[in-house]
Amino acid sequence: MGHSQEGDSPRDRRGEAPEDGERPSLEDEIFAVASTVEVETGRAEPLLGEPLTRLRRNRFQAPPPREIGLIAGGFLTFAFVDAVMMYAPLMSSSRPSLLPQMVTLLVLAFGLGGLLAVKVRGSWRPFGVGMMLGWVFLTLVSVGFLTGLTSL
């Protein structure tokens, strides 16, 4: 069996050309493609314009100092209201129910804070976020004692 030149006819697995009149198998046609690859000429630039490795990513940017101040203001406002509301019940010897304080603090932090963050927007948004962060922080630090979650 003679070997044919590259590109003349498809070769089988063993590298031999099929006999004359014999149709090549699908496997022969699939793996013989490498010898007859067409190369597009005349295009100097890549299809995407730039390589994929040079795609730009948006880097995280810290919020401006003004927003940090507003977040801290919302946090401190919530902490002050929490201290005023929880002082009397926590200082009394008989532990009354903290359920009213808990509901009020939840409505204040997530009701008013969420309203400021979602609906009002503008410069009040960071203030509302600060109120919600204040509730979360005080709840985690005091294991729910300062926000009334221990009453449940």
Strand segments (E) across the chain: none
Q: What mean pLDDT is reported for the chain?
A: 78
- SS3 percent helix, strand, coil of the chain, rounded to 5, is 55, 0, 45
Per-residue pLDDT at 8 exceeds 70 = no
Closest by CA position to 4, among listed 32, 30, 27: 32
What's the burial of 61, exposed, middle or buried (CB within 10 Å: 0-12/13-18/19+)? exposed
Contact predicate 71/126, CB 8 Å: yes
| Residue 127 token pair | 């203030």
139: helix, coil or strand? Answer: helix
Q: Look at residue 123 in the predicted model and tell me its pLDDT.
A: 84
**Where along the chain do its domains lie?**
1-56, 65-151
Max CA pair span of the chain: 105
pLDDT tens by residue, 107-149: 999 999 999 988 887 888 999 999 999 999 999 999 888 888 8
